[in-house]
Structure 1
Amino acid sequence: MEVCCDLEVDVNGEETFMVDKKIIASYSGRLSKLFGKSKGSTRNLKVIFHDFPGGAESFELMSRFCYNNGKTHISPSNISLLHCAAQFMEMNNSVSATNNLIEQTEKSLEEISYWTWSELLVALKQCQHLLPLVNSSDVLQKCLDSLAGRLALASEASPCPSTSSPDSSGFRFSCDTKSTESLKTSLSRGTWWFEDLLILNPVLVEMVVKSMVVRKIDHLMISRFLFYYQKSKFYAATSDEKRKVIETVIDMLYTLDGSSVSCKSLFGILRVSMTLNISKSSRNKLESMIGSQLDQAALDNLLVPSPHGMNYLYDVNLVLRFLKAFLRGGICQASAMKLRKVASLMDSYIAEVAPDPRLKPSKFLALAMALPDSARDSYDGLYRAVDMFLEVHAGLSEDEKLNICCALNYEKLSAEVCVHLSQNTKFPSKSAVQALISQQYKLKGLLHGTNNSKPYTDSPCTSTEGRSMGKNDEASDQVVLYAGKLDVLSDNEKLKAHLQGMQWRVTELEKVCKKMQTQMAKIMKYRISKQGHTRSLPRLCS
């Protein structure tokens, strides 16, 4: 065959090839159509490709196929390049299948089950350099299916044992003695493949994980691989590369069963991602996963510093989002234990952030009232946090203090705490009254053999889910106290003394309330006469 070089081909600016136009065009439908449309002389033509898949290496392989009368050696190391080049050049116009490069590569793919593990990894690595074009070919999907199938089979048996044949089980693993010993010393038998997949970029790892999920490979093993991949890839990665890795890991973890993902590991991912400016979608997924496992978190996990530019100490908004995600799953009888764990955790967290003088009352109240009343058997822990907050924020108005106290359920305070509250000048007077009344009605129930007596409360709080603060009694002008005789044993003398002290305290508070009511009545009368209309005033005391 007479060969001439009448066609100049610039491949992606990498390299220029001088080829025989007639030979190349006889196999390429793309060039045949291009030359068919050209007018005038067809000699000394130049073609420029800007997006040739695989670049100069791929074009050279394709050219050798053409110059060798439609024959070439196809192997796992070049099958991706040849297949994508053949599709790009439309090399399916040959009448004979033996001269059709696309059909030859597809036929070679039928032997993929006989490839070694190393050959399969080489083919996958080649594919990732051909994205996204390789997505439209069969090569990538068949490689992914083969990889997931081998891992699924290996998870059921002993992976890569040194005594087995490399050709056993219908496929071949490349396992020499040195690599086998290395795996035994560095990784457990179930995770021997973790290090091998580090050659893949985040895009291909995502595809691999999806194929593994379809194959029903253990989600716990997949999650362990993803955490291993993230840590390993971070050693020598740029910030942008780290961001892509962390987003891929989060998105894939989100597709797994929640029980297979460690809460501790998720907080590790969270701390790493805070400096990487990850996408909002990935951040929401991560917070949702953490929130669903909030009962497994520790206090140190929640003490995340506030974002840059915020003047408060800890990221309270982040914890509120965790709580929202936790409650999104619904509160049922089966999750009562989880709910109590989260409540205990939140009491510790609120006590930790309460001393922050820059924490706004609205944020503190949002934390304190985020969980329903059923989450706490006792409000003693929350009381101590409120006490601390009021001490640090001494400049709050009486109304602001009353709003903070709305977080407390006085019926679930212990007698000791109620006595402390009654003598606590940081709390508004009305809160002290409510606590004393609640404890007196509890005592009344105990003395009469029942605990269904409900104390009277006149709460300034708005109706909030989970709070049982009592109803306003518009007709009552003074606090009703239980003044029955205490028939207690000598062992309860201390309790009796406390109760007597509480009654004295209430009597003093009643006097203050009556004075305030008188003053309010005068103010209202004055405003009615001056303005000609009434304006509602807050009821400070009943």
Structure 2
Amino acid sequence: MEVHCDLEVDVNGEESFMVDKRAIASYCGKLSKLLGKSKASSRNLKVVFHDFPGGAESFELIARFCYNNGSIYITPSNISHLYCAAQFMEMNNSVAGRHNLLQKAENSFEEIRYWSWSELLTALKQCQDLLPLANSLSLVEKCLDTLVARLPLTSEASPCPSTSSPDSSGIRFSCDTRSTESLKTTLSRATWWFEDLLVLGPNLVEMLVKAMVSRKLDHVIISRFLFYYQKSKFYTVKSDTKRTIAEMVIEMLYMLDQSCVSCKSLFGILRVSLNLNLNKSVRNKLENMIGSQLDQATLDNLLVPSPQGINYLYDVNLVLRFLKSFLHDGGTCQADRPPMRLRKVAALVDLYIAEVTPDPRLKPSKFLALAIALPDSARDSYDELYHAIDMYLQVHPGLSEDERMKICCVLNYEKLSAETCVHLSQNTKFPSKSAVQALVYQQSKLKSLLHATNNPKSYTDSPYSAITEAESRGLRKDDANVQLVLYAGKIDLSDDNEKLRAHLQGMQCRVMELEKLCKKMQSQMSKFTKSKTPSYNHTRSLPKLCS
């Protein structure tokens, strides 16, 4: 065919091609329509495309097809470009009907199940440059479905030993062996494809993960891939791309079973995304995921610096949101969740409170919010919280009496040890009411202990019976009278507080001695009870030998 370069085609401003308009128009319906409407002379024809899929590379493939009488070798490395360009140029109704490029490309896609792993990756990488047209033509969906269909085989071996991953191997894992080395080898074979898929952008990875979930792939493996992808990509991309990747990874992790998502890795994403200005809804999802697994966190995880504009040393509001998510996981109140999980979180919170307490800028309202965030059932002992309050009152001496009282009221005095109650009674930083309450509850414990230990008969739970019991155990009558006043709640705290404290301090030694005595009596009663227990040993006793 005689060639005339009588048409200039500008492709996306990248490159201009001088082509034979008749040769091109005979196969491209779109160009044929444009030239049919043109009134320009045959020597001054120019067509400008601003959104040609695949740019100059794709147009060059189209030109070769047209100049070669509708013939071209279609491979996985060029099929995406050819298919999208053919769709764009309307090459589905050529003059010679049998030379339909769009139909040829569609027929070639029917062979996708025979493509190798590396050929699939190549086609997907090209589709990435052709979005959104490639997606609208279902090219991406076909490639991803084929790719994901091969991933369940990863527990045995890579379907493509030539892949770039160093963990690729054709050796099968034997389920009979239990050795650590074999377990490591199996794990590496289950994740050999992680490195290969780093060539994909966030959009394709999102579509890939959705395809994995729909095919019910292991959520643990999916979550590990997402963490690996985020960590690896952050080394090479700019800030804007980091934000896009982080948001995509968080959204995909939120789709998974949360028991399959590593709490430690979630904190890793949280820290690297602190300055990325994540979308609010995405950030809420990340915090909810962390909050639901808060019992797996450590103190170091929680010590997140405050955002700019906040004076606190650590982000206390973030931890409060974690606690809210933990207690209301799934939209319903979980305050009655398994006690072990609650206790672990309470212990963690107490450590956190102790760490943030020395911050002189921490407001009483924030300290109080941390202290009351968990239900009373979460703590078996309030000793740690007491020490944190003691430190807070020391660091913030300017608090009003009302503020100090609100903070001290969070303590459950029944769950304070005897040593802590004694310390509280001497602590001048605490309001007098707190000191009195601590001793009241402690004496109540001792009274119950005495009753259970050495008094088999019941008595009324009244202040007068408490006096009688105390006197029978060796307490002086004035101490018993003080006990009566404490139980009756008739102490006038408006009187001289120092005298009251002095009197209470004078009692503390006798209270501790009484507690020791009770424990000793318990031990003796236990031995006595055992000695009274009839023996069911039917072995006949031997007679004593005479000396």
Q: What is the TM-score of this pair, normalised by structure 2? A: 0.79
d(CA) in 2 for partners of 1:64 and 1:437?
Answer: 96
Q: Which amino acid aligns with 2:425?
A: S
1:309 counterpart residue number: 309
The structural deviation recorded for 1:27 is 2.2
Q: Distance in 2 between matches of 1:19 and 1:48?
A: 13
AA aligned opposite 2:469 = L
Identity %: 66
1:432 counterpart letter in structure 2: A
8 Å Cα contact 1:419-1:498 kept in structure 2: no
- Of residues 507, 510, 518, the one that matches 2:491 is 510
Flag the 1:241–1:180 CA change in 2: closer, same or farther, 3 A.
closer
Shift of 1:102: 1.5
CA drift of 1:61 comes to 0.5
* Contact 2:385 2:411 survives alignment (8 Å): yes
Distance 1:207 1:481, change over 3 A: farther
TM-superposed deviation, 1:216: 1.1
Contact 1:80 1:123 in 2 (8 A): yes
| Counterpart check, 1:372 vs 2:358 | no
C-alpha contact 2:291 2:322 (8 A) present in aligned 1: yes
Mapped contact 2:306–2:312 kept (Cα < 8 A): yes
Residue type of the alignment partner of 1:437: V
Aligned residues: 476
| SS in structure 2 at match of 1:8 | strand
The match for 2:400 is: 397
SS at match of 2:494: helix
Partners of 2:239 and 2:276 within 8 A in 1: yes
The answer for the alignment partner of 1:436 in structure 2 is 439
1:346 maps to what in 2?
349
Q: Distance in 2 between matches of 1:175 and 1:369?
A: 58
Match of 2:14 in 1: 14
CA deviation after TM superposition for structure 1 residue 7, in Å: 1.7
Match of 1:197 in 2: 197
Give 2:267's aligned residue.
267
Asked whether the equivalents of residues 263 and 297 of structure 1 are also in contact (C-alpha less than 8 Å), the reply is yes
The whole-number CA distance in structure 2 between the counterparts of 1:251 and 1:497 is: 69
Q: Partner of 1:120 in structure 2?
A: 120
Instruction: State the match for 1:159 in structure 2.
Output: 157
Give, in whole Å, the separation in 2 of the partners of 1:404 and 1:79: 70
1:485 alignment counterpart:
468
Cα distance 1:503–1:379, how it changes in 2: closer, same or farther (>3 A)?
A: farther
Query: How far did residue 181 of structure 1 move?
Result: 6.8
8 Å CA contact retained: 1:97, 1:104: no
Q: Computing the radius of gyration over CA atoms, which structure comes out larger, 1 or 2?
A: 2
Instruction: Please identify, of 122-131 and 27-36, the stretch whose mean Cα deviation from structure 2 is larger.
Output: 27-36
**Alpha carbons of 1:61 and 1:488: their partners in 2 closer, same or farther (altered >3 Å)?**
farther
Aligned pairs for 1:229-244 within 5 A: 229-244=229-244
* Distance in 2, Cα, partners of 1:99 & 1:488: 112
CA-to-aligned-CA distance 1:21-79 (integer Å, 9 cap, x gap) = 22322222222332333346465321111111100000110121122222211110001
Distance 2:476 2:324 in 1: 41
The alpha-carbon distance between structure 1 residues 488 and 197, as it changes in their structure 2 partners (threshold 3 A), is farther
Residue 44 of structure 1 aligns to a residue whose secondary structure is coil
Amino acid at match of 1:158: E
Matched, 1:388 2:391: yes
Structure-1 residue corresponding to 2:503: none
- What residue is the counterpart of 1:56 in the other structure? 56
Alignment gaps of 5+ in structure 2: 172-183, 498-547
SS in 1 for 2:87: helix
Alignment partners' CA distance in 1, 2:215 and 2:322: 32
Mapped partners of 1:189, 1:501: distance in 2: 74
Q: Is the 8 A contact 1:35 1:42 kept in 2?
A: no
Report the 3-state secondary structure (helix = DSSP H, G, I; strand = E; otherwise coil) of the residue aligned with 1:395: coil
Q: CA deviation at 1:211?
A: 1.1
Q: Is the alpha carbon distance of 1:108 and 1:236 closer, same or farther for their aligned partners in structure 2, counting shifts above 3 Å?
A: same
Residues 1:293 and 1:488: Cα distance change in structure 2 (over 3 Å): farther
Residues 207-286 of structure 1 aligned to structure 2 (within 5 Å): 207-286=207-286
Task: State the shift of 1:194 in Å.
Answer: 1.0
When the two structures are superposed, what TM-score results if normalisation uses the length of structure 1? 0.80
Contact 2:7 2:18 in 1 (8 A): yes
Contact 1:436 1:506 in 2 (8 A): no
RMSD: 3.4
1:4 aligns with 4
Superimposed CA distance per residue, residues 71-112 of structure 1 (whole angstroms, 9 cap, x where no aligned partner): 211110001101111111122224866322221111111101
- Deviation, 1:114, is 0.5
Structure 1: where are the runs of 5+ without partners?
161-172, 457-479, 517-542
What residue is the counterpart of 2:543 in the other structure? Answer: none
Matched-pair contact (CA < 8 Å) for 1:343–1:371: yes
- Per-residue CA shift, 1:139-174, capped at 9, x if unaligned? 21100000100112x14x5113xxxxxxxxxxxx43
Q: Which amino acid aligns with 2:142?
A: K
Contact residue 27 and residue 95 of structure 2 kept, 8 A: no
Structure 1 residues 271 and 481, CA gap change in structure 2 (3 angstroms)? farther
| Amino acid in the other structure paired with 2:339 | A
Quote the Cα distance in structure 2 between the aligned partners of 1:455 and 1:215: 66
CA distance in 1, matches of 2:19, 2:148: 41
- Offset at residue 306 of structure 1 (A): 1.5
1:160-179 to structure 2, matched below 5 A, reads 160=158, 173-176=159-162
Please state how far the C-alpha of 1:241 moved relative to its aligned partner: 2.7
Secondary structure of 1:18's match? strand
Change (3 A) 1:101 1:177: closer
AA in 1 matched with 2:156:
S
Which segment drifts farther, 247-256 or 295-304?
Answer: 247-256
* Aligned counterparts of 1:359 and 1:333: Cα–Cα separation in 2: 30
What SS is found at the alignment partner of 1:27? coil
Q: Counterpart of 2:287?
A: 287
Question: 3-state SS of the aligned residue for 2:17?
Answer: strand
Deviations 1:435-480 (A, max 9, x none): 2333333444444459xx9999xxxxxxxxxxxxxxxxxxxxxxx8
